[in-house]
Amino acid sequence: MKFCVLTLFPELFDPFWNHGIIRRAVQGQKINPATINIRDHAKGRHRVTDDRPYGGGCGMVMKPEPLAAALAEAKKGMPSATTLLLSPQGKRFDQPLAQSLASEEGLILVCGRYEGVDERFVDLHVDGEISIGDFVLTGGELGAMVVIDAVVRLIPGVLGNDDSAGSDTFCDGLVEHAHYTRPSTVDDEPVPDVLLSGNHQEIERWRRETALMRTFMKRPDLLAQRELSPQERELLVKWRRDIDRLIG
């Protein structure tokens, strides 16, 4: 899968491409990453990429011409790629969207700066806008890295075990079950007996139940959006009966 990032600060991505899972994906030729410096496509001696907003106001706005020229260069190597702008107004990025983007042939990610991007560039060239949350950053670079990281780990063969991505938090609408590793006891707190039992059916049942419980306690909004399985519904009914008994 091809990724190309349009940015005023391509040097920010050098360490990103060269560490961890992303580096392994590059070395294994699972992804082909690139960055394009928007400033290289600005005209004039000073390579100006921003200007004052029409109508007045604070801050500066990214000019459409350098952005369009940088995008045209990116499209030469990936003409069918989807172009996404990192923007606070964009669609909220989540795991289902990451899964959808992982099936694309390529992604071109445009990193805005300053007060924003000239709307004509958005209207004419951008396929969609993405936001990583309801807060404002100084630029879209960190958001682009978040999107790439989440998408890359869903590409088959990137992770050591392809089942890993499928069991991640949010993949089935629940947060993940609790995790334990050695030693078996820490500060007098033991690992749950079921995890030492070797009974895989009971272990899977425990994991499903703890995932459901952790979702209920930490992210009940996810349950409100999810169609519960008969087993999950049965567990919730049991908990309700137990709570009713406790509160009398």
Residue that the structure tokens 């600005």 belong to: 42
Name the architecture of domain 185-247.
Orthogonal Bundle (1.10)
Please give the average per-residue pLDDT across 55-79, as a whole number.
96
Q: For position 226, what pLDDT does the model report?
A: 85
In Å, how far are 23, 179, 197, 246 from 210, measured between CA atoms? 33, 10, 17, 20
Q: For position 169, what pLDDT does the model report?
A: 55
Top pLDDT among 236 and 75 is at: 75
The two three-digit tokens of residue 108, written as one number: 């071109």
Angle at 148 between CA 146 and CA 153, to 5 degrees: 105
In Å, how far are 1, 12, 37, 90, 193 from 9, measured between CA atoms? 22, 6, 7, 21, 51
Residue ranges of the chain that CATH labels 1.10.1270.20? 185-247
Q: For position 172, what pLDDT does the model report?
A: 75
In Å, how far are 175, 180, 207, 242 from 220, measured between CA atoms? 10, 23, 18, 19
Active site residues: 88, 115, 153, 168
Q: What share of the chain is helix, strand, coil (3-state, %, to 5)?
A: 45, 20, 40
Task: Say if residue 161's pLDDT is above 70.
Answer: no
Please give the average per-residue pLDDT across 58-78, as a whole number.
97
Number of H helices, E strands in the chain: 10, 9
Residue ranges of the chain that CATH labels 3.40.1280.10? 2-152
Class of CATH domain 2-152: alpha beta
Q: Are 146 and 133 in contact (CB under 8 A)?
A: no
Q: What's this model's pTM, rounded to 2 decimal places?
A: 0.86
